[in-house]
Amino acid sequence: LNSPEKASDRRIFRKFGSHRFLHLNISKKVWKGDVIDIIDRHKDQPLWICGRRFEFLWCKATKSPQCYVFFAEVGIGIEKDEEITSDKVREWCAPPKFNCDLSIGKEQKRIKLSFSKTTPSGTLPKNCLEVVPDIRCSKDLVMTDGCGLISQDGLDFVWRSCMKYIQSREAEYAEKQNTKVPSQCDKTLCDNDIDGDGDGCEENSDNGLSENNSCPYTSFQGRIGGFKGMWVLDERLGDGIKLVCRDSQEKVKLPMKSFASFSEDCKKRGIHCVQSDFDDLYDTVDVCSWDKQPKEGRLSLRTIQILEYRGVDIGFFKKCADDGTRWLSKLYEDPNALLEHVSKRHSAMVSRDIESTVDTFDDDLLFRMASVKMDKSEPVFAQKILKLVKREADSMRKKGKYPLRRCKQLRLIPDHTQLLEEGEAFIAVGYARGNVNTIKDIEKSDCALAMRSPAYFGGDLVKLKLVSRKTIRLRAASLTKTKETIPAASTCSIYDGPGDDPSTFFEDLNTGLVISSKGERSAADMMSGGDFD
């Protein structure tokens, strides 16, 4: 075994060092008075552990066990100039100077941003980020909650910085193990949530990644300073590193050099901002995960209700159940299928920082056994496989999660273009490179079914009217002829100038989705008991 290393997969660890944080899990069965005695200790009786004085810092909102985080202020291994109180650490996470209206409860929630598992992916240049209002529907509901925009150069910068960081970590590990450095990053890190340890890296670091390497994805989920959510590629932002954040994404105000109007806003609020307030970590892009490939479509109890209401024959559901049984058999018999499944579960478990339970322990052990291709005749391995298959079968039966043939989950993206009317949706299915027959079938369809992922981006497609490519193109062209107060070029990514043909934009569309769920609830939605977003 290697010697323990300092973890740097969280912003606060990169600032103060992970070795100074003590996570204490306390069961809900413990008397609250004893918990208070541990947290609120008298100054004459500080909490000393292993030669370090710890003070309570933060409480993670979990059910049981409850997690309490303590911070080592002074003690062994902490230099004199590194000594800092837990109050100052809390202020670094959410400076009261800029967040005077934060309640204690809100402050605890905002501090969680600094504890999110992320990969540092480059420090943004000055004045490249702006904040714009959210798009709202006629009922004043936010339609772009948690979703911002990023330019192509900005996305490429984040991608290259992230990959350089991962490569540097691989090189460090290979050097310690005396093994050859991998020729390319582990694909699973790119396809799934990326977690790692170490400091952030600037774009100009030299480790063999070409400047021409463009990001293969169109979005990522992460944290940037006090902003949280997803950033989606928008080519209308033009050249250079540019990011647009929505008001709904700002969870806490942090002094950021990349935030173009921050100093101006401070002056308006009567806040004197000094150089010492800024920190490069506030301007670092912390990536939680990159956009994933569409998942295999599966039924759900709600979807089954909707399909039954629409008159789908019971034979269809029997076929789905048979497909589910075959998938379970393959999971039990095929080592490759097992490894693929447990790898996805393990990645999800690591990225979401799930609390340790019996099931997570079994999943982790099974992942390690499957990774080394252990023989299935090994009793413990066979027992773990059988337990996993039974658990998947129970979940499939109780939640109705039977597989759907030729069906994918589509990520629902808010309508940033504002070309859709209330209750409409538009699907792009790779018109330039897709199968012609498939495209014709889709264009003839009156409705489509899609499981939503993630859920907070809007309603199910079954609630919405699909808009054809022709309609969208006509609306884009019409927008150029009307005298709007806001130029069309700043509203939608259709063209570069008034003389361009807006249809050229739609000729190159890949698989994606733009939705607007501003209409009333449909009958199918009411029958299924779902909430209207």
Task: Please state the separation of Cα 155 from the chain's center in Å.
Answer: 15
Lowest-confidence pick of 13-17, 85-89, 461-465: 461-465
Tell me the one-letter amino acid at 430. G
Distance CA 118, CA 123 (A): 14
- What's the token pair of residue 369? 């056994």
Distance CA 375, CA 372 (A): 9
Tell me the one-letter amino acid at 427. I
Number of C-alpha atoms within 13 angstroms, CB side, residue 512?
Answer: 17
DSSP secondary structure string for all residues of 88-152 = HHHHHHS-TTT-TT--HHHHHHHHHHHHSB-EEEEEPPTT-EEEEPPPB-TT--BSSTTEEEE-H
- What's the token pair of residue 113? 């941003």
Q: Whose structure tokens read 């910068």? A: 157
| pLDDT in the model for residue 306 | 76
270-303: pLDDT as tens digits: 888 889 999 999 999 999 988 766 677 888 887 8
- What's the token pair of residue 381? 């391995």
Q: Are 90 and 107 contacting, i.e. CB atoms less than 8 angstroms apart?
A: yes
- What's the token pair of residue 133? 């209002």
Short-list 319, 373, 363, CA closest to 341? 363
| pLDDT in the model for residue 411 | 66
Lowest-confidence pick of 286-300, 339-353, 451-465, 495-509: 495-509
457-484: pLDDT as tens digits: 444 555 667 777 778 778 877 766 664 5
* Confidence grade of residue 367 (pLDDT, cut at 50, 70, 90): confident
| pLDDT in the model for residue 366 | 86
Tell me the one-letter amino acid at 273. C
Tell me the one-letter amino acid at 391. R
Mean pLDDT for the chain? 75
Distance CA 380, CA 198 (A): 35
* Confidence grade of residue 345 (pLDDT, cut at 50, 70, 90): confident
Which DSSP helix (H) or strand (E) runs through 424?
strand 424-428
Q: How many CB atoms lie within 10 A of CB 506?
A: 17
Which 3-state string (H, E, C) describes 486-507? CCHHHCCCCCCCCCCCCHHHHH
22-34: pLDDT as tens digits: 988 888 888 878 8
| pLDDT in the model for residue 114 | 92
* Confidence grade of residue 136 (pLDDT, cut at 50, 70, 90): confident
* pLDDT mean over 363-380: 86
In sequence order, the 6+-apart residues with CB closer than 8 A to the CB of 327 are 403
Sign of CA dihedral 151, 154, 159, 162: negative
DSSP secondary structure string for all residues of 216-260 = S-SEEEEEETTEEEEEEE-GGG-SS--EEEEGGGB-S----SSBT
In sequence order, the 6+-apart residues with CB closer than 8 A to the CB of 433 are 510
**Position 420 pLDDT exceeds 70:** yes
* pLDDT mean over 237-266: 91
pLDDT cut 70: percent of the chain above it: 69
* Confidence grade of residue 179 (pLDDT, cut at 50, 70, 90): low
* pLDDT mean over 106-130: 91
Lowest-confidence pick of 133-137, 243-247, 478-482, 487-491: 487-491
- What's the token pair of residue 337? 């299928």
Q: Whose structure tokens read 């907070």? A: 456
* Confidence grade of residue 13 (pLDDT, cut at 50, 70, 90): very high
Lowest-confidence pick of 87-96, 110-119, 141-150, 438-447: 438-447
Short-list 490, 95, 105, CA closest to 262? 95
| pLDDT in the model for residue 2 | 56
In the chain, what are the domain boundaries? 11-116, 300-406, 408-526
* pLDDT mean over 403-419: 74
C-alpha angle 389-315-525 in degrees, rounded to nearest 5: 85
| pLDDT in the model for residue 104 | 83
| pLDDT in the model for residue 125 | 94
Short-list 427, 422, 396, 423, CA closest to 411? 427
DSSP secondary structure string for all residues of 341-405 = HHHHHHHHHHHTTPPP-HHHHHHHHHHHHHHTT--TTSHHHHHHHHHHHHHHHHHHHHHT--EEE
| pLDDT in the model for residue 167 | 87
